[in-house]
Chain A
């Protein structure tokens, strides 16, 4: 029943920068507050229902107000990059999926794109369009998981069941195409691992027909829900230039009013031939990020529809490049040509080689700019692989958002950052 007065929506988010001074990612309690002795340090530890992942926040509380915050990460550090240095390029492709396990298809694509950039390989049209389709389906899947869990944290428990109902529909499509619900390993260097199975197009069409109605359900549940508005509007404020200074990207950046989407500004795959709108909201609070996520889901369904139109009249086209030094030759060719047998043997035993050099490719994953830096010494194994994780950077903004936040607002703000701990800790 409390009237919310001080949070006026619409005025400029805040004027000068709010980034905490000595260390941008650590909010320290002021001295006089600490002198009162009322400061309670609480661990939002690795195993906390609301952090949705092994994130540990050391929070200084003055009653309900958050006065100090430091994010401690590393509880899910898995040593991806060290392991990838020991495997051949072919075997490395399964690792990136597990880095950001909610948007696994985008992670897989960013590594494959970096390798193809070094190889300067030319990808057939059918593979490009199918990759675009699967990356957008994966964006819907990731936004659904985010919506289900962050609404659950703010008390809208039924939203979890709605969101995960549609998530299972998306995973049915992944299972139909690739045989596996998550971590599909469907992209190869040069294109797709297999052709698109029969029966995928009608199922995908049905999903595209059903999904907008499901998003309408979510919107009716939340968008004008008074409790949701009071819990999300004016909370976790982040101004545009603070977001850029803190390296934010994706829905966090577009929620702060910066119109930057790598699919539009540095188009890759088939995004320049696909018509979609980039949602940007100027308020810079949790509600703005929620609106960005919802509109992006609608746009993704439109992209999937357009990809299906193109793919349906691409029957019989090659779905993988035919550069024998990198791509396995088709099975039947092995019985006849000695050349193919040598190439097949060379690729399978030693792995194909990538010319010496380094490359950095950045794509728009559901969480923001997902970058992959690879460095090769011309051998069959990568020399160094590094992933630029948007969640790793998003956690730095948590301290800036906590200025004058209550503890319940902290849960909403950290939830709206959409951090996936596998990606943060790599």
Chain B
């Protein structure tokens, strides 16, 4: 695997399920993106995903877990086994799924940066023009500000819609249906 140590603003490198995640500082996102594209050949931005971690791990997860390591059928089911997911540094995560689109050894990586309520992320239209619609969708659905985006307005919802639906504190909406809480 190529070493990603020389990336400006690098916080940590995570390897899980065969995917490498590069966590960078929010301020150096644009330089990290330019660096990845020029030095490591990630010329294709396939997707920008914004994730809201409000209330992450509050529910507490009990009961047995299909952990990849031990899944011995015979161990009695441990009811009280509390496996709380790791805490996340900030509320929002912006994941940029990059692809080195080349004939020899194509490679995928996730460039991740953490954003708090009210903070904005630098636009990457200069690096990858395809980021235009993705960033507008992240702004529309999750309310994450994008600095320097030339055409930042809602893309999926009405322009006069208030609130950002994919946030965890936004209600699902729709009509209450009998027995709707047993979803």
Contact = CB atoms under 8 A, between A and B. Distances in A.
Contact of B133 (A358, A359, A396): A396
A357 B17 contact: yes
A22 interface: yes
B43 A244 contact: yes
B97 A393 contact: no
Nearest to A324: B73
A331 B61 CA distance: 29
A353 B97 contact: no
B125 A24 contact: yes
Interface residues of A, number: 64
Interface-centre pick from B18, B101, B129, B156 (highest chain A CB count, 10 A):
B129
B57 A377 contact: yes
Contacts of B110: 360
Tell me the dominant secondary structure on chain A's binding face: loop
Interface string A376-395: 01110001101010001101
Interface in A204-245: 244-245
A369 B47 CA distance: 10
Interface in B78-126: 83, 85-86, 95, 97, 99, 101, 103, 106, 108, 110, 125
A86 B170 CA distance: 12
Interface stretch (A47-55, A259-267, A292-300, A402-410): A259-267
A74 B155 contact: yes
A426 interface: yes
Interface string B128-158: 1110111001000100000000110011111
A355 B56 CA distance: 14
Interface in B32-85: 43-47, 49, 51-52, 56-57, 59, 61, 63-68, 71, 73, 77, 83, 85
A118 B17 contact: yes
A362 B46 contact: yes
Contacts of B128: 245, 247
Contact of A86 (B65, B85, B95, B183): B183
Interface-centre pick from A26, A247, A339, A356 (highest chain B CB count, 10 A):
A247
Contact of A244 (B44, B61, B150): B44
A388 B97 contact: yes
B172 interface: yes
A24 B51 contact: no
Nearest to A385: B49
A212 B73 CA distance: 49
Contacts of B183: 86-87
A354 B170 CA distance: 24
Given A74-B155, A377-B85, A379-B59, 8 more contacts: A24-B125, A79-B173, A119-B66, A258-B101, A354-B66, A360-B49, A377-B59, A392-B133
Interface of B: 16-19, 21, 43-47, 49, 51-52, 56-57, 59, 61, 63-68, 71, 73, 77, 83, 85-86, 95, 97, 99, 101, 103, 106, 108, 110, 125, 128-130, 132-134, 137, 141, 150-151, 154-158, 165-166, 170, 172-173, 183
